[in-house]
Amino acid sequence: MSKSAISPTRQEDYAQWYQAVIKAADLAEHAPVRGCMIMKPWGYAIWEQMQKQLDERFKKQGHQNIYLPMFIPLSYFQKEADHVSGFAKECAVVTHHQLKNDPEKGLVPSGELDEPLVVRPTSEPLFGEVFKSWIHSYRDLPMCLNQWANVVRWEMRTRLFLRTSEFLWQEGHTAHATSEEAQEMVQKMLSTYQWFAEEVLSIPVFAGEKTEYERFGGAKNTYTIEAMMQDGKALQAATSHYFGQNFSQAFDVTFQSENNELTHVYNTSWGITTRMIGALIMAHGDDDGLRLTPEIAPYQVVILPIHHKEKDPSLEKYIGQIETLVSKLAFNERPIRVFVDNRDLKGGEKAWSWYKKGVPIRIEVGMREFADEKLSLSLRTNTYRDRVTLSIEDLSKIPSLLEEVQTKLYDQAKAFQSQSVVQLGSQKEIEAYFSQSGFKGFVKGYFGASSAQEADWCKANGISVRCILPNEKKGPCILTGKEAPLVIFARAY
């Protein structure tokens, strides 16, 4: 019988372990609507921290937030056929605007719309209209906009956070006077996402360009960050797209240049979603639950009063003193987020609940600690029973302990990634690798085949080309033998 808090364990059944962690950490649950989820307070609080970190970074880089309608006229999508083809099978469409009561059937749709409305799968068409309306002169450029919104893509196979019919995201869209400026923005946002994954979430990633086959519909170039989960599969964590003038020509977005010439703008788009919560679970979670980085944890420190029978006023005053001292400390120039759990529960039950939620530091204080002017401290990166007794003066060490947790989570994930990547030189070697039973990680190999060849070969082997690695020497393509770039092959979510 497993002694861990989560059953089954990662080794026993990784997919079920993932679902069990979500339940144990109280992150989300399935909604009454098929394929959708209800984000519970702890899960949504993690998303709020992600929003806060990224939104602050975006604004420092000159982006402004707006909000666009979630309903998009069908005719808008028809202006960019290549783009909509990637979403056509996943679009939810509104065709009626009211309900009427049928004596036999009950409430039924009524009042057919003159034009169907697509429930936002992405907002390129509406941003195209916004840019067309707001941009007139080179003085209006660059225009850098972002929105935090929900998206609907009608998925057949769903999994909480990783793939749901409705999810939350941010989508940034920019318009530029030159191709060079737009491509510079694409790379800047890719670097921003890499910073967020590695420095905030402690998840090491590979950053590179997608192949033509994997490219976002309507884009000239798509760039991605790819993270490795503990089962060896890849997770596309964020993307950044260069559209060139594809969308500006489709939506006739022009500006008067300094030479008084009417020119189409150059566009970019980039986004990240709530699947990053799934990435956190699968990159750092253990067989006792979630493990959160201090940068993203809603509470970085939780204080647990341990009362034997009735609450003791002197103990409560002592805990208040500890809370005040901790809240005055800072981690990475931000006040430490501290919470006192005063729920009427047994100490062990309280402690286990926060351990499963992944809180970086847990402080337990009972009458024994109060009498000695001490406290019991635990790190989530250590085992549940691994505690140290500190004096109240030692609270000043908490920022360095949080940094220890942040660094340890990254180092563990990086070590796992490094040992789970192999480079293979032939088609047969790669096919044999992915056909073997047991764990399979990332494979590096040279690849430059056509989109049709890539589609057929990858489908036959149940893998995909995750990204082209930049700044690497070229070699013979495993399918054609022609000179090709180095890429990553993997199974993916």
Taking the C-alpha atoms of residue 361 and residue 355, their distance in angstroms, rounded to an integer, is 9
Tell me what pLDDT residue 80 has: 75
Q: What span, in angstroms and rounded, lies between the C-alpha atoms of 202 and 355?
A: 19
Work out the mean pLDDT of the chain and round it to a whole number: 96
Set out the domains of the chain in order of their start, with CATH numbers: 14-284 (3.30.930.10), 301-402 (3.40.50.800), 421-490 (3.30.110.30)
d(CA 378, CA 364): 8
Cβ atoms 296, 50 nearer than 8 A: yes
Tokens of 35: 């394929």
How many Å is the Cα radius of gyration of the chain? 26
d(CA 81, CA 354): 49
Tokens of 177: 């006077």
8 A C-beta contact, residue 218 and residue 82: yes
Q: How many Å separate Cα 315 from the centre of its chain? A: 41
Asked if residues 19 and 4 have their Cβ atoms less than 8 Å apart, the reply is no
pLDDT, residue 309, reads: 75
- Going by C-alpha positions, the residue among 77, 168, 129, 139 that lies closest to residue 267 is 129
Tens-of-pLDDT digits for all 493 residues of the chain? 347 899 999 999 999 999 999 999 999 999 999 899 999 999 999 999 999 999 999 999 999 999 999 999 999 988 877 777 777 889 999 999 999 999 999 999 999 999 999 999 999 999 999 999 999 999 999 999 999 999 999 988 889 999 999 999 999 999 999 999 999 999 999 999 999 999 999 999 999 999 999 999 899 999 999 999 999 999 999 999 999 999 999 999 999 999 999 999 999 999 999 999 999 999 999 999 999 999 999 999 999 999 877 788 999 999 999 999 999 999 999 999 999 999 988 889 999 999 999 999 999 999 999 999 999 999 999 999 999 999 999 999 999 999 999 999 999 999 999 999 999 999 999 999 999 999 999 999 999 999 999 999 999 999 999 999 999 999 999 999 999 999 999 999 9
Phi, psi of 329 (to 5 degrees): -85, 165
